[in-house]
Amino acid sequence: MIEEVLKKYWKYNTFRPLQREIIVSILNHRDTLALLPTGGGKSVCFQLPALVKEGVCFVFSPLIALMKDQVDKLTQIGVSSIAIHSGLSQNELETEYQNILNNKYKLVYLSPERSSTKQFRSYLSQINVSFFVVDEAHCISQWGHQFRPEYLKIGELREIVPEANFIAVTATANQTVEKDIKQYLKFKKNCTVFRSSFKRPNLSYLVINDFNKINRLRLIFNKIKGSAIVYVNTRKNAEDTAKILIQHGISSNFYHAGLSMEKREEIQDGWIKNRTRVIVSTNAFGMGIDKPDVRLVVHVDDTKSPEEYYQEAGRAGRDGLSSQCIILSSDRSDLKTIEYLSIQEIERILNALYNHHQIAYTAGKGMTYSFDLQLFSKNFNFNVKDVVYAIQMLETLGYLKNENISQQNRLKFTVQQQALYVYQVKNKYLDEIIKLLLRSYSGLFEYYTHIQLDVLAKRQKCSVNDLLSSLQKLKNDGIIDFIPKKSGDTITYLKSRPTSVKLDATYYNELIHQTKIRKQFMIEYVSNNKECREIFLLRYFGESTDSPCNQCDICRIKAKNKNQYYASNALIKKILIVTQGKHLDLQSLVAKFDIIEENDVMSTIKWLLENHYLIKNKEGYTWKKNQE
């Protein structure tokens, strides 16, 4: 039965490890915790049983972009689904809640703070719920790396729908976080927990020290072929790095939340379809992206936490083939400092945000406002990095939510067909526009539908501005609700503005302490030169093993050192082969070898020159004939 559903919608013949067991647990009405590694196929574990079971499945997800990506994928395979988020108008919300009530959708994605609203809870009591899903469930725990206080209230939904089971899924949870998930979601005693190994046998973890990271990046791409992601910490770094790679003939593009939705989709599509080889991005890229043939993930800037690193590095090699995860480190002392603001500085930035959006005291809860980071920082004379840090902390403290909302043009008829017909008879020109809409899109009387103005204008043989004028007229006459597209960063306030901003100093200091612990782990991971990197990483996630991976840089160095003589002889033989009868510059010569061998290659070349096996002249390096 479930194999047939898998084949019908996802076109797979078999399940990945643990998927079938998790699905059976859900279908047996058990509370279920699924701890699967990045790329382990978590979404199918709850999407498939949602199709099999009667009723509506509610999925709580932390990011609008992630929700929309999942809904788009489900729509493409013919599964009815919707994302409820702060980017929707009140009319849209009411319409979609009615559609949910009428069983129009099988899966409904929504943000965790939506679970505590009166509007949602009043509708929920009338809906046939199949089960609840908490995606990225580590956000429930204060010990998780992305704690969100609004997640704590999701468990209260048991009181409204006591018969519904809860499913929690995450890729990054240690035993403490696992305990919190079960506690706050009020898991029943017969719950089941599925924990897959965090080990990814096809991934090689490497750390390379180089002050000239850009040059090193270029050398890496000349050696390792295939699709790649490069992670950096700022939008400017993403743009600058991509441009430099392009200058060196490496097909690249940059991606960050500051780009328009259309541009991001264009860039993402080009990379997925291999028109672009390398994406240079902030952490905005990757959520929901399941490109199987990523051969390389490189982190150019330092990473905040092992959870973040594991998740981002884990986007490599999802097809099971050998792939590399590289951290470029400059080994500078300033990387070992942890910068954070005082609680008074964060309070000052929060007050400035309230003033910026003109929020009165005791008001603002649940309100969403557009937000320009650069403009805000300039107007209030804040450092941009300080504002970014403060917003991240305020999210964790439960005061606000910062998201990038990108919405297409949406339209819905607000009158019934009989009233629409009467209107068409009286308005001949607008009759043509109405017929165009009805021919082009279905469900316009039930759903808010994305419309493409340029396509419609071309079909109508008019300008986009003329079409917009007609749509505005239809809206003014009460025939349609037309919502123009919008894109950009937003701030949603989760609490009303207090008369005096006073943050919890004890809790804030604990957050700083946890941040230091995670940062310190990454410093130790990068500086480690003795222990297998995979063992080092797995230990953080509570997984103990004595079996080295035999493919990270540490394991390779150890293997080489076991037989230095044969390793050196092998390098000499290869240098002879590649330089015999040829002239190579140093860069071309070194590029013939694996990244991990470069230091040994350089020292071997030096020895060969000193002992007159190699000759260096204006044309490059060549093997001396009488030494062959």
The arithmetic mean of pLDDT across residues 363-390, rounded, is 93
CA distances to 41, 288, 292 from 319, rounded to whole Å, are 12, 16, 5
C-beta separation of 528 from 554 below 8 A: yes
- How confident is residue 425, by pLDDT bands cut at 50, 70 and 90? very high
60 vs 84: CA distance, rounded Å: 10
The amino acid sitting at 286 is: G
CATH architecture of the domain with range 2-195 = 3-Layer(aba) Sandwich (3.40)
CA 254 – CA 248 distance, rounded (Å) = 15
- Tell me the average pLDDT of the chain: 89
Contact 466, 436 (CB under 8 A): no
Model confidence over 271-330: pLDDT tens digits?
999 999 999 998 877 766 778 899 999 999 888 899 999 989 999 998 889 999 999 987
* Alpha-carbon gap, residue 141 to 510, rounded angstroms: 13
Sheet order of strands, 294-299 included: 203-209, 323-329, 294-299, 227-231, 278-281, 252-255
- Cα angle: 291, vertex 295, 298; to 5 degrees: 100
pLDDT value at position 334? Answer: 43
Q: Please report the pLDDT score of residue 327 as a whole number.
A: 96
Rounded to a whole number of angstroms, the distance between the first and last alpha carbons of the chain is 68
> Rounded to two decimals, what is the model's pTM?
0.81
**Containing H/E element for 423?**
helix 417-426
User: What's the CA gap between 494 and 505, in Å, rounded?
Assistant: 19
C-alpha distances out from residue 506 to 96, 141, 397, 502, 509, Å: 41, 17, 12, 12, 5
Per residue in 178-197, pLDDT (tens digit) is 999 999 999 998 999 999 88
Residue 581 vs residue 325, higher pLDDT: 325
Task: Decide if 2-195 and 203-336 have a common fold.
Answer: yes
The answer to whether the CB of 494 falls within 8 A of the CB of 401 is yes
Nearest to 95 by CA among 563, 489, 444: 444
Q: What is the pLDDT, as a whole number, of residue 565?
A: 47
Q: Which residue has the higher pLDDT, 69 or 393?
A: 393
Spatial distance between the Cα atoms of 78 and 130, rounded to a whole number of angstroms: 19
| pLDDT for res 424 | 94
Higher-scoring residue by pLDDT: 545, 358: 358
**What's the confidence (pLDDT) of residue 43?**
93
Q: Alpha-carbon distance 547 to 524, whole Å?
A: 20
| DSSP character at residue 276 | S
**Model confidence over 330-339: pLDDT tens digits?**
765 444 556 7
Residues 6+ apart with CB under 8 A from 397: 149, 503, 504, 507, 508, 511
Question: Does domain 563-627 match CATH 2.30.30?
Answer: no
Give me the pLDDT at residue 336, please: 52
Cβ atoms of residues 268 and 315 within 8 Å:
no
Residue 252, pLDDT > 50, answer yes
Q: Which of 16-20, 286-290, 372-376, 548-552 has the lowest mean pLDDT?
A: 286-290
* 3-class DSSP assignment, residue 120: helix
Q: Which residues contact 530 (CB under 8 A, 6 or more apart)?
A: 554
Residue 18 has pLDDT above 50, yes or no: yes
**CA of 256: how far to CAs of 19, 212, 282, 488, 568, in Å?**
32, 24, 6, 12, 45
Buried b (16+ CB within 10 A) or exposed e, 205-222: bbbbebeebeebbbbbbe
- Interval 362-388 mean pLDDT: 93
Q: For the domain 343-407+488-515, what is the CATH code? A: 1.10.10.10
Token representation of residue 287: 């959520």
What is the average per-residue pLDDT within 224-239? 92
Q: With bands split at pLDDT 50, 70 and 90, how would you rate the model's confidence at 421?
A: very high
Helix (DSSP H) and strand (DSSP E) numbers for the chain: 24, 21
Mean pLDDT in residue range 247-274: 88
Tell me the CATH number for domain 203-336: 3.40.50.300
d(CA 514, CA 305): 10
Model confidence at 566: pLDDT above 50: no
563: confidence class by pLDDT, cuts 50, 70, 90: very low
Place of tokens 């590694």: 37
Q: What is the DSSP letter of 186?
A: T
Mean pLDDT over 488-494 rounds to 90
Which percentage of the chain shows pLDDT scores above 90?
Answer: 62
Write the burial class of residue 539 (CB in 10 Å: 0-12 exposed, 13-18 middle, 19+ buried). middle
Q: How many CA atoms lie within 13 A of 628 on its CB side?
A: 10
Residue 409 — very low, low, confident or very high, per pLDDT cuts 50/70/90? Answer: very high
pLDDT in tens, 112-150: 989 988 999 999 999 999 999 999 999 999 888 888 888
Q: Are 197 and 36 in contact (CB under 8 A)?
A: no
145-180: pLDDT as tens digits: 888 888 999 999 999 999 999 999 998 888 889 999
The stretches of 82-194 forming alpha helices (DSSP H) are 90-101, 118-124, 175-184
C-alpha of 194 from chain center: 23
Q: Which residues make Cβ contacts (< 8 Å) with residue 80, sequence separation at least 6?
A: 74, 104, 105, 106, 107
198 and 179 in contact (C-beta within 8 Å)? no
Nearest to 464 by CA among 476, 473, 456: 456
Q: Round to whole Å and give the CA distance between 611 and 571.
A: 15
pLDDT at 615: 86
- Structural domain boundaries of the chain? 2-195, 203-336, 343-407+488-515, 410-484, 563-627
Q: How many residues does the chain have?
A: 628
Which range among 35-39, 285-289, 340-344 shows the weakest confidence by mean pLDDT?
Answer: 285-289
Lowest pLDDT segment from 252-256, 264-268, 334-338, 611-615: 334-338
**Cα 305 to Cα 589: distance, rounded to the nearest angstrom:** 37
Q: Answer yes or no: are the C-beta atoms of 322 and 246 closer than 8 Å.
A: no
CA gap 147, 395 in Å, rounded: 9
Asked if pLDDT for residue 67 goes beyond 80, the answer is yes
User: Is the pLDDT at 418 greater than 60, yes or no?
Assistant: yes
Q: Give the angle subtended at the CA of 73 by the CAs of 406 and 201, to the nearest 5°.
A: 110
CATH architecture of the region 410-484: Orthogonal Bundle (1.10)
- Predicted pLDDT at 253: 96
Radius of gyration of the chain (CA): 28
Residue 562 pLDDT class (50, 70, 90 cuts): low
Task: Report the half-sphere exposure of 616 (CA within 13 A, side-chain side).
Answer: 10
Q: What is the pLDDT of residues 586-597, one digit of tens each?
A: 888 888 887 767
Is the pLDDT assigned to residue 564 strictly greater than 60? Answer: no
Three-state SS for 498? coil
